[in-house]
Amino acid sequence: MCSTTFSGLGRAQAKGLGYAALPLAIIPHPFGIRTRDEVREIAAQCADDIARLICNRSADSAVEVIERTLPAPRAARVEAPADLDELNRFFQARKWNDGLPVMPSTVERVEHMLRYTSRAPEETVAAIAPAFGIATVEGIAINAVLAGCYPEYLPLLIGATEAMAASQFNLQAIQTTTHPVAVWLVINGPAVQRYNVSSGGNCLGPGTWANATLGRALRLIQQNIGGAHPGGMDGATQGQPGKFTFCCAENEAENPWQPLAVERGFAPDCSTVTVVGATGTWSMNTHARDTNDLLRVFADTMMSPVSNDYVYGGEPWLILSPEHAHMLKREGLSKSDVKRRLWDLSKMPARRFATRDLERTQNARRAELGKITSDSLLPISVTPDDIIIIVAGGPGTHSVYVPTFGNTRAVTREVILPEHEENA
């Protein structure tokens, strides 16, 4: 069952799952603004359509089932123009780029990149929603070349692809929603220094090759393998710039607490990648010198009646500047203390929701919170530990609030780096 706007997604996904001829019941879009009587009428018609589609199918119109063959075949070779301008037009026509120029994914470039992993080119890493295309090691390498990644980045992208496909990340919804969510990649451990991933000043902005190309490659994997093309299966109403590239490292040298990877159970000497379903970034610029004042304004910033985190009980992220992090640490606050304080201070009166959004929240969080009325105080997450804090950035009193898609949980994977890259 699909709305008219998402019928293309439904057909493409049915094909990706092996049911190319699966019949669809189509309802008009949008329906979120319709009255209850209109919704009741649409639902009744849809029920009739479903019954008709089931009952009227003859034996010769049975659903075609396509059996997946694993491992996936090697990538096909195609002839492409040698001229760079014509090459980019060639890629654009086939929707293989993101609207920006790409590097030629020649056989030689891809094979050179594949030397930086011991995994076989045809090995399946993950099935990427919503088209459930098979991401092989070679497929990941091809998109890494397109994005301009250096070959040694390949293990990080393989790990990020695995993390992105984990069920708790909910890539299916992230890829197809009208919400402006993007996949944010956070890197920890020795890989940060080894590959010069920026964790300091302007780490979410331009200027660093690793940050720009790693984030971009992960997005191209979502599009070219996962099938989430803008205007197609990617249904974002406006989208956001983070859907071009969204990547940084944690500034572990300036972090007065445990870094993210250690907090999530990995050894300090491990390299990890973490994927986050991030709505965007919201600057928290404050010169507060009292910790109570600081945490209060942070919590006020987090409190928003249009946030999915409040609707679903999400996993909001904060990127603390080193100055703010050290200020809190000097007052004797652990990271756990900060989370608890923010969780308490950011509880939002349910009356701040629009009426329809309150109804959504009542349905989504009833099992967790019980009866929700307009007088209820809603926590932004299920527990204080669901608020995630990292330290990144350079000098300045700017921290960043990163709200999330809400119905998603970040996933971290360890990455084993090649021992002797110079000989690869």
C-alpha to C-alpha distance for 184 and 181, rounded to whole angstroms:
9
**What average pLDDT does this structure show over 83-87?**
94
- The one-letter code for the residue type at 221 is I
User: Is the pLDDT confidence value at 90 over 90?
Assistant: yes
Q: What is the pLDDT of residue 6?
A: 76
> Where is pLDDT greater, at 55 or 229?
229
- Give the count of beta carbons closer than 10 Å to the beta carbon of residue 324: 25
User: Is the pLDDT confidence value at 234 over 70?
Assistant: yes
Listed range (30-39, 184-193, 210-219, 307-316) with the worst mean pLDDT: 30-39
**What average pLDDT does this structure show over 341-347?**
98
**What average pLDDT does this structure show over 143-159?**
98
Angle at CA of residue 196, ends 183 and 258, nearest 5°: 70
pLDDT in tens, 97-114: 999 999 999 999 999 999
What pLDDT band is residue 72 in, cutting at 50, 70 and 90?
low
User: Is the pLDDT confidence value at 403 over 50?
Assistant: yes
What pLDDT band is residue 423 in, cutting at 50, 70 and 90?
very low
Q: Domain coordinates of the chain in residue numbers?
A: 2-61
One DSSP character per residue, 28-65 reads: -S--TTS-HHHHHHHHHHHHHHHHHHHHT--GGGPPPB
C-alpha to C-alpha distance for 183 and 251, rounded to whole angstroms:
20
Q: What is the pLDDT of residue 58?
A: 55
Supply the pTM of this predicted model: 0.89
User: Is the pLDDT confidence value at 69 over 80?
Assistant: no
What pLDDT band is residue 394 in, cutting at 50, 70 and 90?
very high
**What average pLDDT does this structure show over 261-286?**
97
**What average pLDDT does this structure show over 221-231?**
94
What pLDDT band is residue 130 in, cutting at 50, 70 and 90?
very high
Question: For the CA atoms of 153, 254, 315, 172, what is the dihedral angle to 10 degrees?
Answer: -10
Rounded to the nearest integer, the mean pLDDT of the chain is 92
Q: What is the pLDDT of residue 421?
A: 66
Structure tokens at 396: 């300045």
pLDDT in tens, 30-54: 766 778 888 888 888 888 888 888 8
